Amino acid sequence: MKRRAILTAALSLALVAFLSLIPKIMSAETPRPAGSTNEVITLGGGCFWCLEAVYQMVDGVKSVTSGYAGGQVDHPTYKQVCGGDTGHAEVVQIAFDPAKVSLDRLLELFWQCHDPTSLNRQGADTGTQYRSVIFFQNDAQRLVAEKSKATAQKEFTRPIVTEIVALPKFYAAEAYHQNYFRNNPTQGYCQAVIAPKVQKIKKKIGLHE
C-alpha cells in the first residue's frame, strides 16, 4: 500500500508539472517557412521560348518556367511533345505577385503576344503542342480568364480558339529550355521570331527591361 501511495503521489506531481507547461507550449511560435503571396497561372501560346521572354520583362512576375501541360504522358520529354502524340502543350508557368501585377493584366499581354485565333499553329510552329490555352488553378482564375477572353474577342475579327481548362499536371521542361532567349539571343529562331515579338510587345504595352 505504501509503495502504491508513493507511486500515485509521484504520478500526480508529474501530471501537475506537465499541465503547468501547456500554456507555454500553446503560446510557443511554431517555426514555419515564409509564406508566399504569389499566384500561379499556366499559359500556352506557341513556342514556350516566346512567352517566357515576354513575361520575364513584366514587373511583378517572380518566375517563368517553361514546360508541358495538358497531356496523357507522365514526365514527357521535349522530343515526345514535339512529336505531337502526348497531348501536351508547350506552356509557361508564371508565378506573380498580384499586388504588383494582376492576372487580368497578364492575360491582356497574353492576347497580344500570340495569335489566339489560330488553331494549333503559331507561325511556322504547327501541331496541338502549340495550341493556345489557359490552364487555371481555381474558379477565380477561370472567371478572370473567361471575362478577359470575351473582352479580347472585340479586338479580333476571327473567333478566339483559346482553351480555358483546369490545370492537370505541369512538368518543367529540360534545363536548356529555361531562360532560352536570355541565354541564346543570337540563335536563329531567337533573332527571327522572339526578338521582334519582344520589341513589339515592349513598344505596344510599355514594358521595360
Residue 30 within a domain = no
pLDDT of residue 203: 81
DSSP per residue, 97-151: -TTTS-HHHHHHHHHHSS-TTSTTEETTEESGGG-EEEEESSHHHHHHHHHHHHH
Residue 20 within a domain = no
> Which helix (H) or strand (E) element contains residue 62?
strand 61-69
For the segment 7-35, the average pLDDT, to the nearest whole number, is 40
Residue 21 within a domain = no
DSSP 8-state secondary structure symbol assigned to residue 33 = P
- Residues 180-193 have pLDDT tens digits of 999 999 999 999 99
For the segment 187-202, the average pLDDT, to the nearest whole number, is 92
- Residues 42-75 have pLDDT tens digits of 999 999 999 999 999 999 999 999 999 999 999 9
Locus of grid cell 496523357:
72
Q: Is 113 a catalytic residue?
A: no
d(CA 192, CA 93): 24
pLDDT at 3 over 70: no
Asked if 61 contacts 40 with a C-beta cutoff of 8 angstroms, the reply is no
- Residues 132-171 have pLDDT tens digits of 999 999 999 999 999 999 999 999 999 999 999 999 999 9
Query: Cell digits for 69?
Result: 501541360
Q: What is the CATH number of the domain that holds 133?
A: 3.30.1060.10
Residue 128 within a domain = yes
For the chain, the average pLDDT equals 86
Burial 149-188, CB ≥16 within 10 A → b, else e: beebbeeeeeebebebeebeebbebeeebbbbbeeeeeee
d(CA 40, CA 145): 13
- Residues 83-132 have pLDDT tens digits of 998 999 999 999 999 999 999 999 999 999 999 999 999 999 999 999 99
Asked if 162 contacts 75 with a C-beta cutoff of 8 angstroms, the reply is no
Residue 25 within a domain = no
Q: Which domain holds residue 159?
A: 39-205
Residue 52 within a domain = yes
Residue 18 within a domain = no
Residue 90 within a domain = yes
pLDDT at 8 over 50: no
Number of separate domains in the chain: 1
Q: Given 47, 50, 113, 190, which residue is catalytic?
A: 47
pLDDT of residue 111: 96
